[in-house]
Structure 1
Amino acid sequence: MIRTVREYLKPYNEVFIVEMGAKQIGDIKEICDLVHPSVGIVTAVGEQHLESFKSIENVQRTKFELIDSLPSDGGLAVINDDFPYVANRPVSNVECVRYAVSNPGNAGYVATDITYTPAGTQFTVRTPQGASLEFSTRLVGECNVSNLLAAVIVAMRLGVPEDKIRYAVGQIEQVEHRLNMKRTPGGVTIIDDAFNSNPTGSSMALDVLAMMTQGRRIVVTPGMIELGDRQEELNRNFGQKIAASADIAIVVGEYNREAIVDGINESKEKDASSATEVHTVPTFLDSQSLLGSILRPGDTVLYENDLPDTFK
């Protein structure tokens, strides 16, 4: 027998948070029918799992199953306008608060003045009332700033004092393999974004890498998968972004190699100042051997995605 979430909550529980993932239409509605959420956050609608969704319109429809499930009395939708297929979707069934980092046009809450360092990120939240709240976090990357912005909005709506929100943001630990940053004894900064890679996330990770200017910027990647008939196109675009963000690219494996390298070379042809050095290796172990021979103190290495070497 399927039990609802309410049956598991204790009298002293005040807030229940659930992450809702999906790979096909109806997945999120099914979870909503169990959870009965009152607040819904749509963090993104992007080109991922296209092999199962078939189109970004289907991704949008599925993500907004959460918003459509919110109660008209007291429901709150918090949605990220940085994604076109979030920004262009009207919400009329509940109160809707929009937030943004890079597309602030219609957003009530905006994160600005973002600065990345090996120690983390500083940013400012501007509210609809004109207030400016400054935050520091150990996390890096626009995606993390964006997610924190959504969390700040909900915390403020729940009446959490600003000083406690600020303290909580500063205490959040980095998540392993998700833009996790650390420093080696040899003075090399490692950005570990190996858990997953999609077009939006990989672009944000490269933005972080681009800001690390103490030494050379190096990206190690096998590229992105599960992109359907846009696999080659999006990995070529990924290569173009690498050319604008990294000094050295180490492309692992064969599956996306041609598309990524073509993208890098296309950018180098268009921009004479682009001089990204490209290495191709068959396995992740080979990439580590190569890194061991070229790394210098002050360099930054981004690991973007970690497809197993058996995936060709």
Structure 2
Amino acid sequence: MSARRIAITGASGLIGGALSAFLSARGDDVLHLVRRETRTAAEITWDPVHRTLDPASLEGIDAVVHLAGAGVADKRWTPAYKQLILSSRADGTATVAKSVASHGSSIRLVSGSAVGFYGSDRGDEVLTEESPGGEGFLADVVRAWEAATQVASAAGASVAMSRTGLVMAQGAGAFGPLVSLGRLGLAGPLGSGRQYWPWISLDDTVRALVHLVDHRDITGPVNVVGPEALPQREVVHEIGSQLGRPTLLPAPAFALRAVLGEFATEVLGSQRVRAAVLEQTGFTYRHGTLSEAVATIV
């Protein structure tokens, strides 16, 4: 496959940084969208707040991977921060999609999304891309987030939305604090521990995004999760097992709500998400078992 020119938003983030390194290593020409004046030829200036991105700056680009947005778990969910979570995704996506649309069908768009689409608690229901959306703040955010890509689709662009699950990354994301507690023997089930967690390793997250970049025929929502969501207590047990530490100390639901506020509803929820589209289009996992994925973070 010949080298491609690929632009990335959110390249300074966990997933974006790893994706940028992967694409560069395989020989692609990678450009970063930045919210300041450009410093190198590998940067493109944009302003998602004011919805400005010069369409001419995407001339010659083969694909845009849009990952920018305020971190869902970075701060307590005050009304102001909830508005930032929503606006940073809707405004940023609308900005990118509009510029992509101006190029018709020439640019492939892979837009970030999340399994939050399915709602905070779906029990043991198996959820595929065909499943209906759920209820709650994050579900509403994802609906607005994905809807913002429609201007690009309407213009003929090939668009996929990567509904990403819980990414296992060393020292970062949802699993960073969990591993730190595990080393102290303080990790344990959150709430009942029976809720399903749609885990995936960082490496496989990046490889899934590359799979979407390379397969323009894959359109619409795509669940970017591991091959099998598992109960949270099994995930924690595996972390403790590989660390050689006990995982018996539970975190009561009321305590999580006191510490995390409204976000605790998402942590305590259950999403048994299946990566049906990835499976059907030939994607293979590097870390296809929980044990393999946990080994990357401990």
Kindly indicate which of the two structures has a greater share of residues assigned to strand. Answer: 1
Please identify which structure carries the higher helix content: 2
Pick 1 or 2: higher relative contact order, CA cutoff 8 A, min separation 6: 2
